[in-house]
Amino acid sequence: MTATEVDQRVITYNQAFNETLFELMREDEDIFIAGEDVGRYGGVFQSFAGLNKEFGDRRVVDTPIAEQAIVGLGLGAAAVGLRPIVDLMFMDFVMVAMDQIANQAAKMKYMFGGKATVPLTITTTGGAGLGAAAQHSASLEAWLIHVPGLKLVYPSNPYDLKGLLVSCVRDDNPTIVTLHKAMLGSKGPVPEGLYEIPLGQANIVREGKDASVVAFGRMVQFAEKAAAVLAEEGIDVEIIDPRTLLPFDSEAVVNSARKTNRVVVVHEAVRNGGIGAEIAAQIQEEAFDYLDAPVGRVGAPFSPVPFSPALEREYVPDADDIAAAVRATFNR
Amino acid sequence: MASKTAAKKPAKKPAKKKAATGAKASGADIPKEVLLDLHRRMVRIRHLEENLGRISTEGKVPGFLHLYVGEEAVASGGCAALTDQDQITSTHRGHGHLIAKGGDFNRMMAEFMGKSTGYCKGKGGSMHVSDLDLGMLGANGIVGAGVPIAVGAAFANFYRDNGLVTMAFFGDGSTNIGAFHEAANMACALHLPIVFMCENNEYAEYTARDRVMAITDVADRAVAYGMPGVIVDGMDVVAVYEAATEAVARARRGDGPSMIEAKTYRYYDHAGVQGLGRTYRSDAEVQEWLDRDPIDLFEAQLSKARVLSKAAAKKVHDEVQAEVDAAIEFADNSPFPDPATDLLTDVYTEMN
């Protein structure tokens, strides 16, 4: 069942996030939200607007600017049975809180021999494109998928955002929901009411037979543009959006590779050590004999995210980069 | 080199704000059964730790070991002020906290030896031993990291309005890390039911407090967060218990966080029984603290007050030692986890 069959109502990515939080909190009294500016102000992007007014200071908590304590607040509360949602505002701030995320929340269950349950959701905004410069534009999925115990989603549209957020909040493990900050105003059909998109299940955004593009987050819309251009050149592109990066739907990607024999992996983070390297490695392990070309990788060049729009435009991968990488798989 | 300050007897220090009983806690008003309970908690810690140190030198305990011997009065006095449902967070030196919260020797000893019957099925070891059923939210390998977790548990208690209190145990060294500051400030800003219990043993690992801190008393930090901070003699279990009882009552009635600094001392090295270097503290300093051993002091008090005779005290030691012996036997006879079935379990909570 696709989104359009369910409901034609169109809202923004940010509205989908906000609405989902209202619906989840009405459903489950154990859910609370904590983070910087999430309460009275409604979040720096107004993603949390109105929640404090409806649910009060007890359930929508303004915190100090203290990322370690914010994650610790969620972790300690989760370990004793609540279902917290804590916000880290910008994905770069994940690094400030990394001990509580990676050493504490992610490892608690295993270290305690399975006794602990940590139904903690961390929300954050990743990605460049707003001139937010080097400390407010990161995509750190590669850092986080390296940590056993975590789950991570990076939705590419409002419909997926809602379903993935619901699944993350209802999950009994520490999950990280990454919104792309340049997509907050992007629109799409979203049904009212709660629904889940299973974690670890990729979406075939576009079926094709000649080459596969694996893309997530904001890169999906660029992949779609590239596919339209390539279609005119006679190249039929399949687009796979993994949606969840941890756990990763390797099967969907490998199946697509076996079908099209050419794969390009796209992400916004720098290529070096990026998730594209992991995905490419999995493809060569599982589908080497099917490949007609090396797996292509599209990612940002190896520098911090630049500030000036002139530089940032060049830095962030776009449809042209993706199309060029797909063409390259035919030139071998 | 021994620090002059570290060798001072804490009982002579003027408290910034005196605890309920100050340094002259006699326990006169404390019911006999509570006094005996405090004693047994300390003895349980002492015997388990001494024996654990011994078997570690026999090669039975893999990994790092941070023994709690010398600091028994802090965990015992603190946890005796809590209910079974109240929560604590702990440190890398966490065995004493779990024992004081009611930890089971068999499961502890098995965990320390890496056996599948241990508290963490052999996946945590000394530094991560925990029992969530006892409200013990884990020893912790990262200095200061338990404190934000304690704030989270305290928030849950506030959220549920269940009357429970969380006590965060931490060392003097952890008050220098950012996580501690973030957590203390947040707890006070949100007015949470929590007690910050600092075990000031005067050393951050192998470095004397006065080499890494410009203040003498950790309790001085409390005022910066807007909570009371008291100093107690951490070798006097009654003093710790009385200060903890007052702080817990304050938290429980909704009056917010407070901090207790217990001046105490670690008999063995930061890690293991005897580390490689002997240069960081003097024998004279160690002896000065050994002379104020919390169990010896308390047994003398109890004997004088005719609460516990020397013979009765010995009986407690014998009983506890038998419990430890049985735990070592239990752990010795327990299987190691099976890599084929156990290595990859419990990384995630399975859904549906």
What pLDDT sits at residue B272? 85
What pLDDT sits at residue A6? 52
pLDDT tens figures, B199-229: 999 999 999 999 999 999 999 999 999 999 9
What's the residue count for chain A? 332
Q: What contacts B95, CB < 8 A, 6 or more positions away?
A: B45, B48, B49, B52, B67, B68, B103, B108, B126, B129, B139
Percentage with pLDDT > 90 across chain B: 88
Question: Are the Cβ atoms of B182 and A99 closer than 8 angstroms?
Answer: no
pLDDT tens figures, A79-98: 999 999 999 999 999 999 99
> Are A11 and A146 members of one domain?
yes
What pLDDT sits at residue B20? 43
Say if A116 is an interface residue toward chain B (CB within 8 Å). yes
What pLDDT sits at residue A331? 85
Percentage with pLDDT > 90 across chain A: 97
What pLDDT sits at residue A184? 98
- The rounded distance, in Å, linking the Cα atoms of B61 and B39 is 27
Query: Residue B268's pLDDT band (boundaries 50, 70, 90)?
Result: very high
Closest residue in A to B133 (Cα) is A115
Q: Is residue A157 part of a domain?
A: yes
Say if A10 is an interface residue toward chain B (CB within 8 Å). no
- The rounded distance, in Å, linking the Cα atoms of A83 and A169 is 7
Backbone angles phi, psi at A18, to 5 degrees: -60, -50
**pLDDT (average), residues B257-264:** 98
> Are A157 and A270 members of one domain?
no
Say if A109 is an interface residue toward chain B (CB within 8 Å). yes
Question: Are the Cβ atoms of B183 and A71 closer than 8 angstroms?
Answer: no
- The rounded distance, in Å, linking the Cα atoms of B276 and B269 is 9
CB pairs under 8 A between A and B: 156
| Domains: count for chain A | 2
- The rounded distance, in Å, linking the Cα atoms of A237 and A73 is 45
Q: What contacts B106, CB < 8 A, 6 or more positions away?
A: B117, B326, B327, B330, B331
Q: Is residue A196 part of a domain?
A: no
> Are A53 and A130 members of one domain?
yes
Residue A65 predicted with pLDDT over 90: yes
- The rounded distance, in Å, linking the Cα atoms of A235 and A326 is 9
> Are A85 and A116 members of one domain?
yes
What pLDDT sits at residue B47? 98
Say if B289 is an interface residue toward chain A (CB within 8 Å). no
Among A32, A59, A148, select the one facing B347 at the smallest CB separation. Answer: A148
List the structure tokens of B80.
């005796």
Q: How far does A31 lie from chain B, in Å, by closest CA?
A: 10
Partner residues linked to A124 by β-bridges: A178
Query: Residue A8's pLDDT band (boundaries 50, 70, 90)?
Result: confident
β B166-171/A60-62 pair status: unpaired
pLDDT tens figures, B304-330: 999 999 999 999 999 999 999 999 999
Say if A68 is an interface residue toward chain B (CB within 8 Å). yes
Among A69, A104, A118, select the one facing B151 at the smallest CB separation. Answer: A69
What pLDDT sits at residue B24? 47
For chain A, positions 222-241, list CB contacts with chain B under 8 A: none
Q: Check the CA dihedral B149-B150-B153-B154 and report its sign.
A: negative
Which residue type does A156 have?
A: S
Q: Name the pTM for this structure.
A: 0.94
What pLDDT sits at residue A2? 55
Q: Which of A189, A212, A233 is the last residue of a domain?
A: A189
> Are A177 and A263 members of one domain?
no
Residue B177 predicted with pLDDT over 60: yes
- The rounded distance, in Å, linking the Cα atoms of A55 and B4 is 55
Q: Which of A155, A189, A223 is the last residue of a domain?
A: A189
What pLDDT sits at residue B274? 79
Percentage with pLDDT > 70 across chain B: 91
Question: Which residues of chain A are within 8 Å of residue B149 when distances are taken between CB atoms?
Answer: 72, 75-76, 79, 100, 104
Question: Which residues of chain B are within 8 Å of residue A82 when distances are taken between CB atoms?
Answer: 156, 159-160
Asked whether the beta carbons of A100 and A65 are under 8 A apart, the reply is: no
> Are A21 and A169 members of one domain?
yes
Of the ranges A38-42, B6-10, B149-153, which one carries the lowest mean pLDDT score?
B6-10
How large is the angle between the packed helices B105-112 and B32-57, nearest 10 degrees?
Answer: 20
For residue A146, the enclosing domain spans 3-189
Q: What contacts A286, CB < 8 A, 6 or more positions away?
A: A250, A254, A257
Say if B340 is an interface residue toward chain A (CB within 8 Å). no
**pLDDT (average), residues B61-65:** 94
Residue B9 predicted with pLDDT over 50: no
> Are A48 and A173 members of one domain?
yes
Q: Is residue A162 part of a domain?
A: yes
The residue with greater pLDDT, B296 or B8, is: B296
**Among B111, B130, B155, which would you mutate to test the A interface (most chain A Cβ atoms within 10 Å of its Cβ)?**
B155
Q: Is residue A198 part of a domain?
A: no
The per-residue pLDDT of chain A, averaged, comes to 96
For residue A277, how many C-alpha atoms fall within 13 Å in the half-sphere facing its CB? 11
Question: Which residues of chain A are within 8 Å of residue B189 when distances are taken between CB atoms?
Answer: 63-64
What pLDDT sits at residue B273? 84
pLDDT tens figures, A164-203: 999 999 999 999 999 999 999 999 999 999 999 999 999 9
* CATH, residue A184: 3.40.50.970
Q: Which of A189, A219, A242 is the last residue of a domain?
A: A189
Query: Residue A247's pLDDT band (boundaries 50, 70, 90)?
Result: very high
Among B130, B148, B178, select the one facing A112 at the smallest CB separation. Answer: B130
* CATH, residue A296: 3.40.50.920
Among B119, B153, B351, select the one facing A79 at the smallest CB separation. Answer: B153
Question: Which residues of chain B are within 8 Å of residue A70 when distances are taken between CB atoms?
Answer: 186
Q: How far does B110 lie from chain A, in Å, by closest CA?
A: 13
What pLDDT sits at residue A4? 53
Q: How far does A27 lie from chain B, in Å, by closest CA?
A: 17
> Are A180 and A212 members of one domain?
no
Domains of chain B by range and CATH? 4-269+283-331 (3.40.50.970)
Is the bond into A247 cis (omega within 30 degrees of 0)? yes
List the structure tokens of A116.
């602990």
> Are A239 and A304 members of one domain?
yes
**Among B87, B159, B161, which would you mutate to test the A interface (most chain A Cβ atoms within 10 Å of its Cβ)?**
B159
Q: Is residue A312 part of a domain?
A: yes
The per-residue pLDDT of chain B, averaged, comes to 92
**pLDDT (average), residues B291-308:** 97
Residues of A classed as catalytic:
136
**pLDDT (average), residues A285-303:** 97
> Are A246 and A293 members of one domain?
yes
Question: Are the Cβ atoms of A73 and B186 closer than 8 angstroms?
Answer: yes
What pLDDT sits at residue B279? 84
> Are A221 and A127 members of one domain?
no
Percentage with pLDDT > 70 across chain A: 98
Question: Are the Cβ atoms of B154 and A76 closer than 8 angstroms?
Answer: yes
Of the ranges A37-41, A213-217, B7-11, B333-337, which one carries the lowest mean pLDDT score?
B7-11
Question: Are the Cβ atoms of B178 and A68 closer than 8 angstroms?
Answer: yes
Radius of gyration of chain B (CA): 19
What pLDDT sits at residue B2? 37
Asked whether the beta carbons of A25 and A170 are under 8 A apart, the reply is: no
H helix runs in B26-84, sequence order: 32-57, 72-80
Q: Check the CA dihedral A317-A318-A322-A327 and report its sign.
A: negative
> Are A148 and A272 members of one domain?
no
Q: Is residue A194 part of a domain?
A: no
Question: Which residues of chain A are within 8 Å of residue B121 when distances are taken between CB atoms?
Answer: 113-114
Q: What ipTM does the predicted assembly reach?
A: 0.94
pLDDT tens figures, B11-42: 434 344 444 443 444 567 899 999 999 999 99
Dihedral angle, C-alpha A120, A121, A126, A132, nearest 10 °? -80
β A237-241/A203-206 pair status: antiparallel
Question: Are the Cβ atoms of A113 and B141 closer than 8 angstroms?
Answer: no
Of the ranges A62-76, A103-117, A158-172, B7-21, which one carries the lowest mean pLDDT score?
B7-21
